[in-house]
């Protein structure tokens, strides 16, 4: 198989694998209770054939009735769930519905790809989160906001593109359990506003049908001011009868024209986007108006909570951007329609390498919630620097909010376990583009894969996910598996070490967000400050400062409020701390800054060296791609190390205890 074709399919490349006694199970396949003509069943059968032929050299014969070696059977169970069992040489895959069948099929193929024996197999699974979504920030001119792997494969020249990649994409998504996709940027402007009109309905419908084949609901981001821009109305006031009527008619049209439409994602009153605040209305007023319009069709409105003042005065120490999400939404807890879900970023700021968990998650007790994370590496290395994000996502999911005894983790809240609700789940800003390898750095596909797997089965560890992804995507050679794990597992902490310290965030090149600029945002309007002076650094968010720490339930609130009990990795997020402050390690804060920056660079160098050792063991193109990225990462890490260290050395006048070169 030629290299290029191979890497285009990412973890579904289905190259020949050791049989491990598995081939025989794929010889005779029978369906029971499933309709072979159903579109999702067809996809499952197609995938089964493709996988078995590619990996095992077996072409399954789909036949009626038993005896068979693989029985695909409809059974009762939770939606999207499945069970797999091997007994006496026969595997039974029970799906609770067509999607369950599809996910079970991918499970089976995954094991084959990992060269695991299917003998004695016994699993029963259902997804942990009802909604498992990827959000694209793709613009209709083909650009991608915060995209680091080429241009959009959905749009170009203000039009929709449908090609081979569309289907490959849907397969990849289904294989990791994604069941909803938003194809366009939340900043809906120009042509994208027209996606809900006749100009695009035909192509939008075709696109959505491709997703339907793989059990994926189709979503669009909406322009809140469409009544003005498309409807020619003078207003977007959610209480205006004309506005309400326009949306009702528009939604009727949308759901009639786009058969697989799940609903809409809305960014309102945020970073210059229009919203209900303009009319003196609340976020709930805006969301509910749209929710009522989509309710007759079973649609949902996913409303983002990224609402803050982006015109702040840096001189102002009282206004705190971290507070904004909570302050803007907590007062309306319980006021949202049942088909509204609030989508909340994992942290209160914006996808930094380290942030506390947003206090809105679980802070809201009567409102549907969805977690938003960013797989696109906006602040975490632009898919140049390697940064495996699954450990960070797991930290967020495992966080105890203390909202309800026994069901208080973020995972509980967003799975619906805390409130017993079904409109809940998890979404990620995706890291794909039209680069041949989808994600720029081939290793960034571990994040693409891992997010889906984690959304489906939250208990999977960051390492277990790599134990799947590496053999499926690179090689099952133990040296490759161990080396790549050795690079990816610590990579988030490495990135953190050479960039901004202890939760302070930012210090990035403004707008672009790659590379170091310690004061880049310090005197700007975005509310993102480090407040360093010659004595110390950090933002006082305790009750003596902005009071942000008080937005948490106890005991989190007190823990964060007090410099002694604040988790050290978040120390500078919550407190302004002198450089001579002694950390638990016995080091001063300034020494920690120096040490971690030297360490971070050295670790990145170690990763690059380890990768060199895989030459000839992985596909040549993949090897070269990652090697090239490591070259760029080392340049970046060195700049970060030396700029941060020099900055604090010059400010504090405190020398490095170990006398290393600081500029």
Q: Which is nearer to ligand GCW, 380 or 625 (CB)?
A: 380
DSSP category for residue 366? S
The tokens for 107 are 């499970």
Q: Closest residue to ligand GCW, Cβ-based?
A: 350
Q: Which residues contact 361 (CB under 8 A, 6 or more apart)?
A: 344, 346, 369, 371, 399, 401, 410, 413, 414
Per-residue interface string for the shown chain with ligand GCW, residues 551-590, x marking contact by CB under 6 A: ----------------------------------------
Q: Which is nearer to ligand GCW, 186 or 225 (CB)?
A: 186
DSSP category for residue 125? E
Per-residue interface string for the shown chain with ligand GCW, residues 118-147, x marking contact by CB under 6 A: -------------------x-------xx-
Q: In the complex, what is the shortest distance from the CB of residue 635 to ligand GCW, in angstroms, rounded to a whole number?
A: 23
Q: Which is nearer to ligand GCW, 33 or 510 (CB)?
A: 510
Cβ(393)–Cβ(355) under 8 Å? no
Cβ(480)–Cβ(474) under 8 Å? yes
Q: Which is nearer to ligand GCW, 146 or 199 (CB)?
A: 146
Distances (CA, A) of 250 to 160, 188, 192, 283, 340: 20, 17, 15, 21, 18
Q: In the complex, what is the shortest distance from the CB of residue 526 to ligand GCW, in angstroms, rounded to a whole number?
A: 9
Q: In the complex, what is the shortest distance from the CB of residue 43 to ligand GCW, in angstroms, rounded to a whole number?
A: 31
The tokens for 474 are 């690179």
Cβ(535)–Cβ(465) under 8 Å? no
For 503, half-sphere exposure in the C-beta direction (CA atoms, 13 angstrom radius) is: 24
Q: In the complex, what is the shortest distance from the CB of residue 513 to ligand GCW, in angstroms, rounded to a whole number?
A: 7
Is residue 355 a contact residue for ligand GCW (CB under 6 A)?
no
Q: How many CB atoms lie within 10 A of CB 87?
A: 11
SS (H, E, C) 232-245: CCCCCCCCCHHHHH
Instruction: Give the angle 366-368-369 at the CA atoms, nearest 5°.
Output: 115
Is residue 269 a contact residue for ligand GCW (CB under 6 A)?
no
Strands 577-578 and 536-537: antiparallel
Q: In the complex, what is the shortest distance from the CB of residue 68 to ligand GCW, in angstroms, rounded to a whole number?
A: 49
Q: Which is nearer to ligand GCW, 69 or 374 (CB)?
A: 374
Residues tagged active-site: 271, 350, 378
Q: In the complex, what is the shortest distance from the CB of residue 273 to ligand GCW, in angstroms, rounded to a whole number?
A: 8
Cβ(401)–Cβ(365) under 8 Å? no
CA distance 64 to 579: 74
Q: Which is nearer to ligand GCW, 98 or 372 (CB)?
A: 372
Q: Which is nearer to ligand GCW, 126 or 146 (CB)?
A: 146
Is residue 6 a contact residue for ligand GCW (CB under 6 A)?
no
Strands 155-156 and 159-160: antiparallel
Q: What are the residues facing 30 on neighbouring strands?
A: 63, 71
DSSP string, 242-259: HHHHHHHHHHHHHHHH-T
Q: Which residues contact 652 (CB under 8 A, 6 or more apart)?
A: 534, 535, 579, 590
The tokens for 132 are 């498992």
Candidates 68, 131, 186, 294; binder of ligand GCW (CB under 6 A) is 186
The dihedral sign for the CA sequence 387, 383, 143, 273: positive
Q: In the complex, what is the shortest distance from the CB of residue 258 to ligand GCW, in angstroms, rounded to a whole number?
A: 23
Q: Which is nearer to ligand GCW, 187 or 646 (CB)?
A: 187
Q: Which is nearer to ligand GCW, 151 or 595 (CB)?
A: 151
Q: SS3 for 625? A: helix
Per-residue interface string for the shown chain with ligand GCW, residues 305-344, x marking contact by CB under 6 A: -x--------------------------------------
The tokens for 600 are 């971070």
Q: In the complex, what is the shortest distance from the CB of residue 351 to ligand GCW, in angstroms, rounded to a whole number?
A: 6
Q: Which is nearer to ligand GCW, 266 or 424 (CB)?
A: 266
Closest CA to 370 of 421, 330, 430: 421
CA distance 326 to 311: 18
Per-residue interface string for the shown chain with ligand GCW, residues 409-448, x marking contact by CB under 6 A: ----------------------------------------
The tokens for 373 are 């994370």
Residues 287-306 binding ligand GCW (CB under 6 A) are: 306
Is residue 267 a contact residue for ligand GCW (CB under 6 A)?
yes
Q: In the complex, what is the shortest distance from the CB of residue 366 to ligand GCW, in angstroms, rounded to a whole number?
A: 25
Q: What are the residues facing 425 on neighbouring strands?
A: 131, 370
Is residue 187 a contact residue for ligand GCW (CB under 6 A)?
yes
Candidates 378, 412, 435, 595; binder of ligand GCW (CB under 6 A) is 378
Q: In the complex, what is the shortest distance from the CB of residue 388 to ligand GCW, in angstroms, rounded to a whole number?
A: 20
The tokens for 8 are 């285009």
Place of tokens 């697989």: 260
Q: What are the residues facing 156 on neighbouring strands?
A: 159
CA distance 450 to 639: 30
Is residue 350 a contact residue for ligand GCW (CB under 6 A)?
yes
CA distance 590 to 214: 53
Q: Which is nearer to ligand GCW, 22 or 221 (CB)?
A: 221
Cβ(44)–Cβ(171) under 8 Å? no
For 479, half-sphere exposure in the C-beta direction (CA atoms, 13 angstrom radius) is: 9
CA distance 59 to 24: 10
Candidates 351, 552, 573, 574; binder of ligand GCW (CB under 6 A) is 351
Q: In the complex, what is the shortest distance from the CB of residue 508 to ligand GCW, in angstroms, rounded to a whole number?
A: 10
- Give the residues lining the site for ligand GCW (CB under 6 A): 137, 145-146, 186-187, 267, 271, 306, 350-351, 378
């Amino acid at each position: 198989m030629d290299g290029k074709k191979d890497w285009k399919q990412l973890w579904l490349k289905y190259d020949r694998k050791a049989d491990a006694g598995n081939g025989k199970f794929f010889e005779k396949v029978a369906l029971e209770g499933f309709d072979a003509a159903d579109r999702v069943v067809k996809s499952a059968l197609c995938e089964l054939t493709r996988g078995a032929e590619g990996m095992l050299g077996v072409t399954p014969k789909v036949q009626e009735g038993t005896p068979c070696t693989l029985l695909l059977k409809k059974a009762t169970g939770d939606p999207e769930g499945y069970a797999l069992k091997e007994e006496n040489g026969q595997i039974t895959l029970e799906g609770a519905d067509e999607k369950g069948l599809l996910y079970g099929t991918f499970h089976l193929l995954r094991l084959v790809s990992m060269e695991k024996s299917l003998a004695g197999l016994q699993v029963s699974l259902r997804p942990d989160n009802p909604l498992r979504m990827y959000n694209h920030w793709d613009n209709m001119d083909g650009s991608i906001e915060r995209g680091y792997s080429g241009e959009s494969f959905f749009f170009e020249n203000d039009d929709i593109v449908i090609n081979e990649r569309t289907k490959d994409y849907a397969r990849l998504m289904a294989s990791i359990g994604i069941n909803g996709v938003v194809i366009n940027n939340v900043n809906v402007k120009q042509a994208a506003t027209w996606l809900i009109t006749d100009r695009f309905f035909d192509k939008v419908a075709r696109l959505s049908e491709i997703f339907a084949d793989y059990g994926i609901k189709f979503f669009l981001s909406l322009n809140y001011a469409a009544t003005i821009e498309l409807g020619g109305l003078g207003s977007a006031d959610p209480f205006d009868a004309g506005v309400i009527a326009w949306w009702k008619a528009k939604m009727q049209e949308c759901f009639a024209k786009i058969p697989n439409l799940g609903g809409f994602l809305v960014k309102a009153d945020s970073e210059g986007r229009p919203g209900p605040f303009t009319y003196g209305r609340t976020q709930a007023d805006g969301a509910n108006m749209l929710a009522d319009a989509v309710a007759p069709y079973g649609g949902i409105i996913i409303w983002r909570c990224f609402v803050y003042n982006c015109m702040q005065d840096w001189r102002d120490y009282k206004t705190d951007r971290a507070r904004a999400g909570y302050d803007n939404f907590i007062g309306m807890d319980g006021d949202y329609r049942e088909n509204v879900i609030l989508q909340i970023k994992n942290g209160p700021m914006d996808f930094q390498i380290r942030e506390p968990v947003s206090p809105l998650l679980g802070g809201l007790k009567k409102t549907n919630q969805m977690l938003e994370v960013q797989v696109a590496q906006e602040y975490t290395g632009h898919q140049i620097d390697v940064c495996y994000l699954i450990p960070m996502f797991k930290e967020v999911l495992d966080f105890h909010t203390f909202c309800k005894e026994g069901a208080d983790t973020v995972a509980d809240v967003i799975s619906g376990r805390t409130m017993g609700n079904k409109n809940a789940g998890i979404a990620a800003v995706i890291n794909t583009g039209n680069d041949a390898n989808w994600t720029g750095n081939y290793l960034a596909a571990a994040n693409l894969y891992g997010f889906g797997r984690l959304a489906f089965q939250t208990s999977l560890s960051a390492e277990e996910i790599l134990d799947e992804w590496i053999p499926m995507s690179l090689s099952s050679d133990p040296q490759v598996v161990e080396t790549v794990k050795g690079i990816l597992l610590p990579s988030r902490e490495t990135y953190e070490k050479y960039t901004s310290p202890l939760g302070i965030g930012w210090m990035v090149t403004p707008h672009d967000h790659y590379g170091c600029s310690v004061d880049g945002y310090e005197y700007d309007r975005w509310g993102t400050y480090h407040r360093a002076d010659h004595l110390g650094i950090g933002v006082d968010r305790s009750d003596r400062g902005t009071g942000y720490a008080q937005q948490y339930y106890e005991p989190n609130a007190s823990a964060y409020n007090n410099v002694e009990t604040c988790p050290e990795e978040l120390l500078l997020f919550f407190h302004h701390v002198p450089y001579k402050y002694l950390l638990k390690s016995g080091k001063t804060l300034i020494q920690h800054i120096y040490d971690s920056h030297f360490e971070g660079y050295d670790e990145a160098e170690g990763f690059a060296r380890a990768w060199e050792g895989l030459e000839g063991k992985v596909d040549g193109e993949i090897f070269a791609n990652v090697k090239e990225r490591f070259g760029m990462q080392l340049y970046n890490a060195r700049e970060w190390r030396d700029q941060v260290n020099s900055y604090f050395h010059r400010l504090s006048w405190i020398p490095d205890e170990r006398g290393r070169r600081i500029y």
